[in-house]
Amino acid sequence: MKKAGIVLLIGRPNVGKSTLLNTLVGQKVSITSPKPQTTRFPIRAVLEDERGQLIFIDTPGIFKKAEDVLSREVNRKTLATLDEEFDVVVYMVDPTRARSFEEGRVLGIVRKINKPVILVFNKIDLETKHMAEYVFIQDEVAATYKISALKDKHIKPFIEDVFSRVDREYPLVDMTDSVTPALNMNSRLFLQEIIREKVYLFTREEVPYKVGVAVEEIKERDNGSLYIKAVVYTVDKRYRGMLVGRQGKMVKEIGMAARKELERSTNKKVFLDLRVEANHHLQEMLG
């Protein structure tokens, strides 16, 4: 008999929460980037197999400081997620990095949650030289697993444990009502996040985190292809110039990479109409 449950993913930035989601579900559902703060809202992804459904809530990271409007809003949305109804907490830790104030804050929040907590040590394919700094947490949780989300190592027993701790009536989500069957999220948000990931990957350190994407139009054409009109916003004209690039080369490369990703995710031919604009009210828009 199939069953279902809701799983909260929590951890400091860059521990691999989004990578784990993508590995579990089998396709891109939450953007991954080497930069922190790439997830600005809880993304719900659904893992479905013969056992039932697991709905994953991927929270933004909880940061040491919130010095601007955007970071404060990210923190607020993360904490608000903890008020939602869920069944199991997956607390992810990166033992390749030393403990910090951020980790202490996350652990403090986890300790206040009255639900089963599964501790997951991620990135075991790397040198986990700081593992000893975290082992004390094992005494406070229901179970502990060591995995590599990127390499898909030791994930099966971990997920089997998660399924054993949920008991909601199946199904919780209608899998036929989304742009891609693995998603339970607004299709515009999905498209925007894919485009924003490509902006980060192509610009790296040149453009700050304060970049937003708005999808203005989604249209399915008679031939079955998708027409997507989108704009990349940044806070300053000089950053707009970097994003556009000489003779428009940068925005073309971003658009090409995003289009290919969207075609793989939607199984449709995609025409992406992408432009870049500067807007000094970007922080308020993203809030």
Pair (162, 223) in one structural domain: no
Q: How far is the C-alpha of 131 from the C-alpha of 280, rounded, in Å?
A: 43
Asked if residue 256 is part of any domain, the answer here is: yes
Q: What is the pLDDT of residues 113-145, one digit of tens each?
A: 889 999 999 999 999 999 999 999 999 999 999
Same domain, 109 and 74: yes
Of 62-66, 178-182, 197-201, the poorest mean pLDDT is in 178-182
Mean pLDDT, residues 175-185: 47
pTM (2 decimals)? 0.68
pLDDT in tens, 11-53: 998 899 988 988 988 766 666 666 665 555 566 678 888 999 9
Note whether 114 and 9 are same-domain residues. Answer: yes
236 lies in some domain: yes
Which tokens sit at 138? Answer: 């094992």
Same domain flag for 100 and 239: no
Q: Does 174 fall in a domain?
A: no
Residue 25 domain boundaries? 3-169
Residue 178 falls inside a structural domain? no
- At 228-263, the pLDDT tens digits run 999 998 887 888 888 998 899 999 999 999 998 888
pLDDT value, residue 268: 83
Contacts 24+ apart (CB under 8 A), 211-214: 211/239, 211/243, 211/282, 212/282, 212/285, 212/286
pLDDT for res 218:
87
- Is pLDDT of 183 > 50? no
- C-alpha 239/C-alpha 227 separation (Å) is 27
Here the CATH number for the domain that contains residue 110 is 3.40.50.300
Is 182 within the bounds of a domain?
no
* Cβ atoms within 10 Å, residue 244: 17
| The token pair that represents 85 in the structure block | 């109804």
Quote the percentage of the chain above a pLDDT of 90.
40
In a domain, 176, yes or no: no
Q: What is the mean pLDDT of the chain?
A: 82
Of 110, 134, 169, the residue at which a domain comes to its end is: 169
Q: Are 217 and 78 in the same domain?
A: no
Q: Are residues 34 and 154 in the same domain?
A: yes
* Out of 68-82, 102-116, 187-201, least confident range: 68-82
Verify that 213 and 139 share a domain, yes or no: no
Are residues 12 and 42 both part of a single domain?
A: yes
One domain for residues 48 and 109: yes
Number of domain units in the chain: 2
- 45 strand-pairing partners: 56, 183
H helices of the chain, in order, are 17-25, 69-81, 101-111, 155-164, 187-203, 237-244, 249-266, 282-286
pLDDT over 50 at 177, yes or no: no
Whether 179 is covered by a domain: the verdict is no
CATH number assigned to the domain comprising residue 203: 3.30.300.20
Same domain, 41 and 148: yes
Residues with Cβ within 8 Å of 209's Cβ and at least 6 positions away in sequence, in order, are 35, 37, 70
38 in any annotated domain: yes
Which span out of 75-79, 110-114, 197-201 was modeled with the highest average pLDDT?
A: 110-114
Q: Which of 135, 169, 203 is the last residue of a domain?
A: 169
Same domain, 133 and 9: yes
* Shared-domain flag, residues 11 and 144: yes
Q: How far apart are CA 279 and CA 48, in angstroms?
A: 41
